[in-house]
Amino acid sequence: MLRARLHTLLVLALLGLMTPLWGADTDAPVILVLGDSLSAGYGLSNDQGWVALLERRLLERGLPHRVVNASISGDTTGGGIARLSAALARHRPALVIIELGANDGLRGMDPQRMRENLQEMIGLSQAQGARVLLVGIHLPTNYGRRYRERFDAVFPELARTTGVALVPFLLDGVAQRRELFQADGVHPTAAAQELMLDNVWSHLAPLLTETSP
């Protein structure tokens, strides 16, 4: 009995040592995704979100990149700034996807403040030598026309002034279809994730070529 337990523990220990060798290539260029619940896959299993599907697509297409998902549900641009430097230092990404701002808007934050936060994150990423893909979001119509226009304009204006690539609207083709949202009416279902990935992919693909070894 004791011998069997020791054998099991030894096997588990060896598996623990081998896991990093079987895992991602540490020399592969890293894609760091810094986002909120839309990228964290709120309400979905770990393999259903668009970021997980991105990792699968990279593998299927023989691309060398590995994905680090640093997204947290409920996060804001202020929260992104607070944790980005540590993530950059730890992962040394070749490419940073910034998908933040939705919660700023839902909380009525000043769009100018959001813009400043996003610009700081772009600058921090570029200072580390990373390419940046900024992911835009639009607010629902019930937030008032003036506020929505100011909010929505932040993403294309920032892309223009900083020169980073832009996904105009992560939920393009999703936001108009109620059946693609969970019961809360806010978070997309598993069926929406492929559409979201396609929205990102068309703007991400050129950056993958530029960051391939």
Active site residues: 37, 184, 187
> Using H for helix, E for strand and C for coil, what is the string for the chain?
CHHHHHHHHHHHHHHHHHHHHHCCCCCCCEEEEEECHHHHCCCCCCCCCHHHHHHHHHHHCCCCCEEEECCCCCCCHHHHHHHHHHHHHHHCCCEEEEECCHHHHHCCCCHHHHHHHHHHHHHHHHHCCCEEEEECCCCCHHHCHHHHHHHHHHHHHHHHHHCCEEECCCCCCCCCCHHHECCCCCCECHHHHHHHHHHHHHHHHHHHHHHCC
